[in-house]
Amino acid sequence: MKSVTEQDMVEGCRRGDREAQRELFEHTSDRVFRLLVRLTGSMDDAYDLSQDTYLKGFAQIDKFDGHASVATWLYKIAVNEALQFLRRAKSTRLKLQGAALELDTNPVDTTAVRLDVQAALAVTDPSDRAFLVLRYQDRLDYRTIAEIVGCPEGTVASRLSRARDRLRKILQKSYDSREENNPALHPRGSR
């Protein structure tokens, strides 16, 4: 059930009430902006995409049917905006890929593994990244992810499984490549 506050905000936004729009922004911007930073890897891009998300959300507020929370609905817009942006910005992706391959850390170290995974995440397919970020960074359940992405819950499970596999392959490739260049880095062998 939606709270009165959320209904009020939505109704206000439908009337174009700037104060209601600001309220909705205040209630949701923390999550929306963080999601966009995680998806794009860039504060600047997240800043621009956040603007686009809210402008689109306010313009299309009449399409909000209350089936999910308004935050989830904005999340859906944000994910779409980010995916469209990432597909256009392939050069950015290549830059991130370069950064990932340049990481010169020992994966035996926990912090280094975390850094490697974050770098590998940045070069995964944007769609895979969206599933992984929504589940393992935003900790959303499958039902909410399904609503955001617009697919059945079963598909969320299979997409996550595939995304994890692809991420592991990227990491494995990165470790193998570094081990070839410097076997002393990995006394335990490849992971």
Partner 1 sequence: MCCEQHKHEIGRFLDDELTPDAHAKISEHLKTCSACSRELADIQELTSSISDSSRVTVPSNLWGSIKHRLDAATCEKPAKPPVIRSPLVWSRRWAMAASLGFALAIGMFVLSLTNSPAQASAIDFGILLDALPLDAQKAFQKFLKLYDAQPGSPSDAKKFAPSLDFETPQTLPGGFALKSVYLLQFGNRPGVAATYGRDGEFLATIFHPPVEKESFGTHKDYPCAIGKHHGHKVEIGSWKMVHLTDPTTCHCVLSQLDETSELPAVMAAVAPRATTSHAHGHE
Q: Are 101 and 123 in contact (CB under 8 A)?
A: no
Q: Tell me the window of 78-86, 91-99, 158-166, 174-182 that interacts with partner 1 (CB under 8 A).
A: 158-166
Q: Which is nearer to partner 1, 1 or 132 (CB)?
A: 132
| Closest CA relative to residue 185, chosen from 109, 116, 110 | 109
119 binds partner 1 (CB under 8 A): no
Residue 128, Cβ neighbours under 10 Å: how many? 19
Side-chain-facing half-sphere of 68: CA atoms under 13 Å: 16
Contact status: 113 vs partner 1 (CB under 8 A) = yes
Site for partner 1 in 58-87 (CB under 8 A): 58-60
When asked if residue 96 is in the footprint of partner 1 (CB under 8 A), the reply is no
- Which of 9, 96, 121, 123 forms a contact with partner 1 (CB under 8 A)? 121
For the record, the structure tokens of 9 come out as 């905000």
Residue with tokens 């494995």: 172
Task: Name the DSSP letter for residue 64.
Answer: -
Over its C-alpha atoms, the chain yields an Rg (Å, rounded) of: 19
Query: What minimum distance in Å lies between the beta carbon of 82 and partner 1?
Result: 14
- Residues near partner 1 (CB under 8 A) are 16, 18, 21-22, 25-26, 29-30, 33-34, 37-38, 43-44, 47, 50-51, 54-55, 58-60, 113-114, 116-118, 121, 132-133, 135-137, 139, 141-142, 157-158, 160-161, 164, 167-168
